[in-house]
Amino acid sequence: MATLTDLNETRSVSHSLDPVIAHDDEPKRKAEPFWIGPVKIDPPILQAPMAGFTNYAFRQVVRQFGGVGLLATEMVSARSFVWKDRTECEHPDRLWGVKDEPRPLAVQMWDNDPERLAMVGARLAHEYQVSVVDLNFGCPVREITEKAHSGSYLLSDPPRMGRIIERVVRACEPVPVTAKIRLGCRRDCINAIEVARVVEQSGAAALTVHGRTAQDYFRGEANWEEIARIKPHLKRIPLIGNGDIDSAEKAAAAYRRYGVDGIMIARAALGRPWLFRQAAAALRGEPIPPDPTLDEQRQWLLYHYRLVCERFGMERGTVLMRKFACCYAQGVPGARQFRTQVAQVQSPDHFYEVVDRYFPRDDPSGSESTGP
Ligand SMILES: Cc1cc2nc3c(=O)[nH]c(=O)nc-3n(C[C@H](O)[C@H](O)[C@H](O)COP(=O)(O)O)c2cc1C
């Protein structure tokens, strides 16, 4: 799993999407909904799966801001799902909230065994009644690739990917199955077009492409030109582009320039769950709503904290919340001290004290708060 250091590193790099914004003379492509099988994605903006982050609490916050056509869970291990089933344990924390929360919702899973994935996919589709079952073919982390021959490892074996997708599609019917990939395993072996064809021919209902290779991990810039090159090779299914979208303007620019059907946003939304609403406005060609005030942001953070603690209890919830709290303060002027302090909190009292004392405040003459 990527760490917070990865996130911070990539925040500071320049993005290939920057020049795109300058192309204001480009024809303005109006945002249109698209379909993943029977599921309408409106607006065409998706919240990316992020292990350790996109749990029920995060999704609730995102949902309340709006602007997302499809939300996704963290990736779920098919093997651990089966194991928990056999041992009659509660299902993985990563499925927290999935049965009850509003739709549309995608659950992502990973493994390399078609039968195991089909079995878990069928359960997700029919018992959990999720809107979309997504297959992870992009994770570059060694535990998943080298050790489990899953995630982005499978990009080197498109026929196996095809067998997996076919089997899972059959098991999940009528719930659509989608695939999320990277451009390839290595920079000298970009095979996304070949993989995209296999994904489509095997019956998947959409393809998401993160514009980096597994070798890149999170380094460098996402290559949107390579993403765009895939589009003409897909005859039937939509293409969703992903990578380095960290502003509403970039979301709109990528949508217009690269001809993708949808835009997926991951890291930038962790501390700015209102980014989807802003991106949706930009795609519609409307004025971009401002960020919430710092007072509002603090209230959203506390709301998020309460949701996490309701599930995990106050002690574990506090420890889990440290990374989210750091995200909320990312890029906020004067938040360094807050991040240092909150990264060490152990108890709820300490958490509240640090938020109260160190989370940056608006100018006292600022506008009134309308947080959650
Ligand atoms: C902490 C973290 C966890 C992630 N977990 C997943 C995951 O479970 N499944 C997946 O397909 N991608 C995962 N990703 C990749 C993102 O979904 C996304 O493809 C990538 O971050 C690029 O998008 P961005 O530039 O908008 O962040 C993860 C990324 C991060 C930073």
Does the Cβ of 254 fall within 6 Å of ligand 1?
no
Largest CA distance in the chain: 62
Average pLDDT over residues 311-328: 95
Does the Cβ of 278 fall within 6 Å of ligand 1?
no
| Distance separating alpha carbons of residues 64 and 327, to the nearest angstrom | 18
Q: Are strands 34-36 and 39-41 parallel, antiparallel or unpaired?
A: antiparallel
pLDDT above 70 as % of the chain = 89
CATH 3.20.20.70 intervals, the chain: 4-284
Which of 11-15, 78-82, 136-140, 356-360 has the lowest average pLDDT? 11-15
- Bridge partners (DSSP) listed for residue 108: 75, 134
Query: 4-284: which CATH architecture?
Result: Alpha-Beta Barrel (3.20)
Give the position, in ligand 1's atom list, of the atom nearest the Cα of 269: 26
Ligand 1 geometric centre to CA of 81 (Å): 21
Give the model's confidence band at 19: pLDDT under 50 very low, under 70 low, under 90 confident, else very high.
very low
pLDDT of residue 334: 82
Which of 89-103, 170-184, 230-244, 281-295 has the lowest average pLDDT? 89-103
pLDDT digits 0-9 by tens, 251-289? 999 999 999 999 999 999 999 999 999 999 999 999 999
- C-beta of residue 255 within 8 angstroms of C-beta of residue 31: yes
Average pLDDT over residues 59-75: 97
Residue nearest atom 19 in ligand 1 by C-alpha distance: 210
CATH class of the domain comprising 294-358:
mainly alpha
Closest CA to 104 of 83, 76, 133, 75: 133
**For the chain, what's the residue count?**
372
Does the Cβ of 307 fall within 6 Å of ligand 1?
no
| Distance separating alpha carbons of residues 133 and 159, to the nearest angstrom | 20
Q: Active-site residue 172, yes or no?
A: no
pLDDT at 100 over 60: yes
pLDDT of residue 213: 98
pLDDT of residue 236: 98
Which of 4-13, 58-67, 277-286, 322-331 has the lowest average pLDDT? 4-13
Tokens of 141: 């982390």
| Distance separating alpha carbons of residues 155 and 322, to the nearest angstrom | 34
pLDDT of residue 26: 62
Chain CA centroid to CA 107, Å: 11
If phi over 0 gives left and psi between -120 and 50 gives alpha, with beta otherwise, what is residue 350? alpha
User: Which is higher by pLDDT, 23 or 151?
Assistant: 151
CATH 1.10.1200.80 intervals, the chain: 294-358
pLDDT of residue 13: 36
